[in-house]
Chains A and B, each alone.
Chain A
């Protein structure tokens, strides 16, 4: 296997005294789609934001994020800008908040190209092409419209078109459908995936929806309280999930119980990296917790088709 495009290597981020990411190790290969799944507050967003160094002020970073072998943390201002503008693109959760509300769609799409030195006519032509590719109709009119004139789904397509426009090697998608109507969610994800496949761009896809991640991605990484607890191929999710947290998530989907019965939930409330116990981060809520779990931090073990961090698996592996 070739060297990964993106590598998180023991990444730890804390905001002042508060830990936010405790230990994130994950890699994304060129052209690969990796789903990062977890409850709110588990650190998914922060993981993605650390790629483009969009961390809140006052945060300290340990470990590294490497892109194409280069430590992102070591980039100077000019290189960071170059990296952000050419190598990665980000699709945010809420297009209403992340597209400048007072400027036109055309301005939004072309501004990065223009900054890279592309002429106005050429930039507009490429923006129009990109819009058409993500399934936006009446492209010319759209270019002169403003965000408030577009629906949420349409606006998110615009954001995706903008992300594709600079031909990035990696697309970071931070819950790109959460703010949209349920009916348009699937469509938007499908378009994002189809287009990035055609360009063989890698995708790091954040969601709290395991099924959605499994449908879109090649591999799934499950996060809990600032740590990745399990990584496995998307097509083996149902068969090979080993970590109690992943199993609990799988069991809490509406489809797992017959209609009319009470849904199963993961007992307890989601924890952040701050409140998680010292040993295994899931120990407080784990249905099969043992005494060792509370004291010892479980290492990431290669199990079957994937990796999981759980003490119970160590015997199995041996």
Chain B
């Protein structure tokens, strides 16, 4: 187990390290002067360019520059936004809670509604299963931006239960504001998790060990919880985890559509104004979170199903 954890951790660090190199190096793949790019796309005066060169050590060799950037990130100072003239850390810090809340909200929707409806479809009769299959198909086919548009249309012009714009202030108001973005963000993933759950539950229900547990006279509820759900949990968890990891990237669309001021919309807006310092920092952050969540899911899976440990080692 310790070996497994060590290997996973090493893989995580290595992947993020290489990703950081790629993100930083991309600056040099782009056409034009990195200093001009860092300055935010528009044409700054030579004095400003010189200042940027000095500030970002652009005259140093590539690896040294990378080191400056990386150590800045690691010590919590990724630099200032060239366009907003504000430290990247404070930009991110101001938006991280909103995005975190949005992702948590969407994850809860996915885990609770997705898994519950999947279990329900798995154990229920044909009619319920059929209705849920149609529903999940529709949800899966609608991309987040389509879901967002429909939600905006319905809730802006027909019903006014939830606000369609802004992030809100205070916890409850934020939850209120984030409901529609969370729905738009989670819809397709929720349907997917529901489908996977249904398939896994069905597979376990027909397995020999579940039949054996029934023959041993165990109560239906016990069999369902300790055998069916317990064994279906690892794959369901794996899929849910991957989905939750993907949610962070998906926040770009949901936040942008509903005018939520979060990391995703900051990334999009910074990209639009070519504010590279911010884009690099957020991109790396999102990649790191993505890899981290996926690693956590792997570890949790190995705990739930120790056979995985053996197969890999």
Contact = CB atoms under 8 A, between A and B. Distances in A.
Nearest to A89: B216
A92 B212 contact: yes
A112 interface: yes
Contact of B307 (A82, A85, A148): A148
Contacts of B231: 100-102
Contacts of A94: 208
A52 interface: yes
Contacts of B85: none
Contacts of A92: 208, 212
A100 B227 CA distance: 7
Contacts of B273: none
Contacts of B211: 54, 98
B217 A112 contact: yes
Contacts of B227: 100
A103 B226 contact: yes
B305 interface: yes
Contacts, number: 71
Interface in B175-212: 207-209, 211-212
A112 B216 CA distance: 7
A103 B234 CA distance: 13
A86 B217 contact: yes
B209 A112 contact: no
B213 interface: yes
Interface residues of B, number: 23
Nearest to A98: B212
A90 interface: yes
B215 interface: yes
Given A100-B231, A103-B226, A52 B215 contact: yes
Interface string A79-107: 01111111001101010011111110001
B225 to A, nearest CB: 11
A115 B219 contact: yes
B306 A102 contact: yes
Contacts of B213: 100, 111
A84 B209 contact: no
Given A52-B215, A82-B217, A97 B207 contact: yes
B113 interface: no
B310 A115 contact: no
Contacts of A99: 209, 212
Interface in A20-53: 52
B7 interface: no
A101 B215 CA distance: 17
B230 A103 contact: yes
Q: Is the interface of A mostly helix, strand, loop or mixed?
A: helix
B305 A84 contact: no
A146 interface: yes
A98 B209 contact: yes
Nearest to A172: B215
A254 B285 CA distance: 71
Interface in A252-285: none
Given A82-B217, A98-B212, A111 B230 contact: no
Nearest to B304: A102
A146 B216 contact: no
Contacts of B307: 101-102, 146, 148
A120 B177 CA distance: 49
Contacts of B219: 81, 115
Interface in B208-258: 208-209, 211-219, 222, 226-227, 230-231, 234
Interface in A171-220: none
A81 B222 CA distance: 12
A85 B305 contact: no
Contacts of A115: 217-219, 222
A103 B310 CA distance: 15
B218 A102 contact: no
Contacts of B234: 102
Name the residue in B211, B212, B222, B304 with the highest tally of chain A Cβ atoms < 10 Å from its Cβ: B212
Contacts of B217: 80-86, 112, 115
B304 to A, nearest CB: 7
A90 B304 CA distance: 28
Contacts of A52: 215
Nearest to B210: A100
Nearest to A51: B215
Contact of A101 (B209, B214, B216, B226): B209
Nearest to A82: B217
A102 B215 contact: no
A84 B216 contact: yes
A107 B213 CA distance: 12
Contacts of A81: 217-219
A100 B233 CA distance: 13
Interface in B104-129: none
Contact of B226 (A83, A97, A98, A111): A111
Given A81-B219, A89-B216, 15 more contacts: A52-B215, A85-B216, A90-B212, A90-B215, A99-B212, A100-B209, A100-B227, A111-B216, A111-B222, A111-B226, A112-B217, A112-B218, A115-B217, A146-B306, A148-B310
- Closest 4 A/B residue pairs (Cβ): A85-B217, A84-B217, A97-B208, A98-B212
Interface of B: 207-209, 211-219, 222, 226-227, 230-231, 234, 304-307, 310
Interface of A: 52, 54, 80-86, 89-90, 92, 94, 97-103, 107, 111-112, 115, 146, 148, 162
